[in-house]
Every structure is written in structure tokens, then in C-alpha cells.
Amino acid sequence: MSATLLSVRDVHITFGGVRVLEGIDLDASRGEIRGLIGPNGAGKTTLLNIICGIHRPQKGDVLLDGISIVGRKPSEIARLGLGRTFQASQMFGGMTVLENLIIGLHRRTSSGLLSAGLKLKRHRREEAEMEEAARRALAFVGMSELAERPATALSFGQQRVVEIARTLIGDPMIVLLDEPAVGLSANRLTELDGLLRRIRDQKGVTLILIEHAIRLVMDICDQVTVLSSGRRIADGTPLAIRNDRGVIEAYLGKDLRARHQAS
């Protein structure tokens, strides 16, 4: 069991002739929180989409726990232990909060058509276990009282948290978070900060985090990768990144760099 859990190697992808990613490398070790930052249009979400199997790179490889996952279906990759949340809310509107969480257990359960339709004993036991696990997970994120609410009745921030919980409940090795802090109030941001730390510390889950809230990234990430215009321009600890010329340039533009340094 190597220390590197996820390894992205020299990934290239173009859409309609536009080179979106050119030769990206990224490694994530077990139990680390890795930030993925960069200006809009840098290709961050595309990279996540490649990792979780929505897009297929023209070149390069992605290894999850040593296994190449390029070309596999997203659902298959998910079953290998990779979780994912999205920029826009992806709650299942037709279900309650609790049911949304139970869905997260899908990959770990096995009831099929017949055992479900005939309500076999094994199936009933599995259902009961799932509900219990889902209630525990809700308690973990401190939202037990919302279990029976329709998912769409939650606030944006609450939906975010439930989505994270839904991903975690499936016991993934690694979770990709796409801008979890978007639209959160300051209070909620602090809560999220705490939640992500607890996830890493108590559950040992590796996190890859796309985020524009630089404060959050600098605060909780162990390592940060910076993309700009489809290339990786920096990789290192938050401290190193903070002082990286290339990064500042990419974010602020060359002429502003002078002022930044002057100030």
C-alpha cells in the first residue's frame, strides 16, 4: 500500500479544438487535503471530471490506488471508492434528506430487483441497516432534525453539507469537492472548515478541493496545486504557493505583480 492514493499523470484533453488541459500531473497522498486552485477557466472542474470518469482524456493516465481508471464509467469509479460533490447543488429533489443520504450507501449494498420487489428478509435487514447508517451520518454533520425534510426545502448551504455527508456515507477513500464554499455565509464557512478537518482526521479520507475562497484553502490544505490555462503552474504547501511568483502573476496579471510586491 503506497502512500500515494491518487495519481494523475500527464493528462491532456481538448474540446472542439480548444486545449483545455495540457500535461497535468497531480498526486494526492492518503489522508491529505489537497487544494486545487486557479483562475476561472483554468480547467479545474474539467480535471475533476476526468478523474471521476465523466470525460476521457486524449492522453495521460489516472491511477486510483494503483489501478488505472481512465475509460471506466463514472459509476464504476465511484464504486472503487471515489466520491464527488458538485459546484451546483445535486440533491435528488424527489426525496427526503434521509433518502438522499441512503442513496450514498448504494455502492455498498446489493439488493437487486427480486429481493427488493419481493421484500425478502435479507433486503429488509439491509434497508434497516441503511437507514440507521444514514441517521448516524446526519448526526455527524449535525443535521439530524432535518432527516424527514424534502431535500429541496433545505437552504443552499445545508444542501452542500448534506451532499458532502451523502458522499462520505459510502465510505470513499477519496472525495473530490468542487467549490463547497460557494454561496456560504461566514458562519457556515467556519463550520465547513471544521467539517472538512473532521472528515480527514476522524475518517482518514483524502480530499481534493477546488475552491476560490483562498482563506479556506490556505487554512486547511496540506498541499495545493495551481492550474492556469490548462497547465500546472505550481505545486506545494500553502505557504510556498502564497509566495510563488507564477501564481501571483496568473491570478493578478503581470502589471499588478509589481504593485503587489511593492505593497
Partner 1 sequence: MTPFSRRNVLLALLAIAIAAPPFANFYHLFVANLVVIYVLLAIGLNILVGYAGQLAFANAAMFGIGAYATGLLQVQLGWSFWLAFPSGAFIAMAVGLAISLPALRLSGLYLALSTLAFAQATQWVFLHWESVTFGAGGFKTPPLSFAPLPITKPLGLYYLSLALSVGLFMFAQNLVASRVGRALVAVRDGEVAAESLGIDLLRYKALAFGVSGFYAGIAGGLYSALLNFVAPEGFDLFQMVLQKSMIVVGGLGSVAGAVLGAGIIIVLLEALRAFKGLQEIVFGGLLVIFVLFMRGGLVSVIKRHVRGWEEPLRLVQSTAAPAPEVIDTRPSVADR
Partner 2 sequence: MLLLSYLVMSGVTTGALYALIALGIVVVNKATGIINFAQGEFFMFSGFVAWMLHVQMGVNYPLTFLLAAVVGFGLGCLTDRIAFRPIAKTDVVSLVLATVGIAFMLKGLARVIWGGKADYLSFPPITSTDPMMIGNVMVIPQQLAVLAGTVAIVVIFTAFFRLTRAGKMMQATADNARAATLVGIRTDRIYTLAFGTGAAIAAAAAVLTAPLTLLYPDIGFAFFVKGFAAAVLGGLMSLPGAVLGGLIVGVVESLAGGYIHSSVMEVSPFVVIMIVLVLRPTGLLSFNKIRRV
**What residues line the site for partner 2 (CB under 8 A)?**
15-16, 45, 49, 54-55, 86-88, 90, 178
Q: What is the C-alpha to C-alpha distance for residues 82 and 195, in angstroms, rounded to an integer? A: 19
Residue whose C-alpha cell is 482524456: 57
**What does 72 bind: partner 1, partner 2, none (CB cut-off 5 to 8 Å by kind)?**
none
Residue whose C-alpha cell is 483562498: 214
Q: What is the C-alpha to C-alpha distance for residues 86 and 107, in angstroms, rounded to an integer? A: 19
Q: How do beta strands 59-64 and 4-15 pair?
A: antiparallel
66 or 94, CB closer to partner 2?
Answer: 94
Residue 155: CB minimum distance to partner 2, A: 20
- CB count within 10 Å of CB 5 equals 23
Residue 114: CB minimum distance to partner 1, A: 9
Residue 86: CB minimum distance to partner 2, A: 5
Asked if 224 and 237 touch (Cβ cutoff 8 Å), the reply is: yes
87 or 229, CB closer to partner 1?
Answer: 87
Residue 200, SS3 per DSSP: helix
39 or 74, CB closer to partner 2?
Answer: 74
The binding site for partner 1 (CB under 8 A) comprises 45, 52-54, 73-76, 78-79, 83-84, 86-88, 90-96, 98-99, 102-104, 106-107, 109, 111-113, 116-119, 123, 126-127, 130, 146, 148-158, 166-167, 170, 182-185, 188
38 or 53, CB closer to partner 2?
Answer: 53
166 closest CA partner among 81, 250, 97: 97
